[in-house]
Amino acid sequence: MGFDLSFMTVALKAGISAVPLTTALSGGAFAVSFLCGTVFALVRLNNVPYLSKLLQIYITVIKAVPAILLLYIVYFLIVDGFNAFSEALRLNVTSKNISMNVIAVIALSLNGTVTVSETIRGAFLSVPRGQYEGAYSVGLTGYQTLKRVVLPQMIPVAVPVLCNNLIVFIKMSALLYYISVTDILNAAQIPATINYKFLESYVAAALIYWAICVAIEKLSKLLERKLSRYRDK
């Protein structure tokens, strides 16, 4: 059986229809991970008593758990937990009322927060300690030091890695197929359920992911060029 190029086009169109949902879920999870990851990084950098140790344990555990396994754990915890909660309060709702998109964002965020946190933490650590001391010595406050000295130096370091993190989120979204979210991979496979031409569907999905990741890489290069002036100063 040869490769059916015309059917790949059909699968390609089906996959493209799911691009908005995939990018929305990945982007939403990335935004949540960025906010939480920044807080995590600041807590660990400042060695906040007890909390920094707890976060270190969380990061160590999440790093060791495969993304697909974490997705299943989150799925069953939310579904079973919500049903038990609803039953205890005698509510007329079940886990069927929970959108799989919400579960998807939560699962991706739990995993991605660790990666983004390490990225932000590394960017902060890239600024020499002497820069802080020099800023304080001329009378700058903590906020002024962060705004005028630290951020201009750490942002050019963080942006390329954060763009790579976003690419990882896009690729991880393919796992959402396993909880019946109609992402790019799932949508591309739907036409193949009729004639079983799954190879064509997989290739079509791969092309879409590739195109999205190339676009993000182009954006990353553009941002790097715009931010390079901070390194030159």
Sole residue written with tokens 């931010």? 227
Q: How does pLDDT run across 205-215, given as a tens digit for each residue?
A: 999 999 999 99
Q: CA dist 82 to 25, 96, 97, Å?
A: 22, 10, 10
Inside any domain, residue 53: yes
Indicate the number of domains in the chain. 1
Inside any domain, residue 41: yes
- Please determine, for residue 34, whether its predicted confidence score (pLDDT) is greater than 70: yes
Q: What is the dihedral of CA 37, 40, 41, 46, to 10 degrees?
A: 160
Task: Annotate 118-137 with three-state secondary structure.
Answer: HHHHHHHHCCCHHHHHHHHH
Q: Residue 130's domain is classified under what CATH number?
A: 1.10.3720.10
Residues spanned by the domain of 174: 20-180
Inside any domain, residue 104: yes
| Beta strands in 56-151, from DSSP E residues, in sequence order | none
Give the torsion sign (CA, 85, 88, 89, 92): positive
Q: Which tokens go with 224?
A: 């790097």
Inside any domain, residue 198: no
Contact between 198 and 21 (Cβ < 8 Å): no
Q: Higher model confidence: residue 1 or residue 157?
A: 157
pTM: 0.87
d(CA 204, CA 208): 6
Q: How does pLDDT run across 41-100, given as a tens digit for each residue?
A: 999 988 888 999 999 999 999 999 998 999 999 888 888 887 777 777 777 776 677 788
Q: How does pLDDT run across 76-91, given as a tens digit for each residue?
A: 888 888 777 777 777 7
- Please determine, for residue 1, whether its predicted confidence score (pLDDT) is greater than 60: no
Inside any domain, residue 118: yes
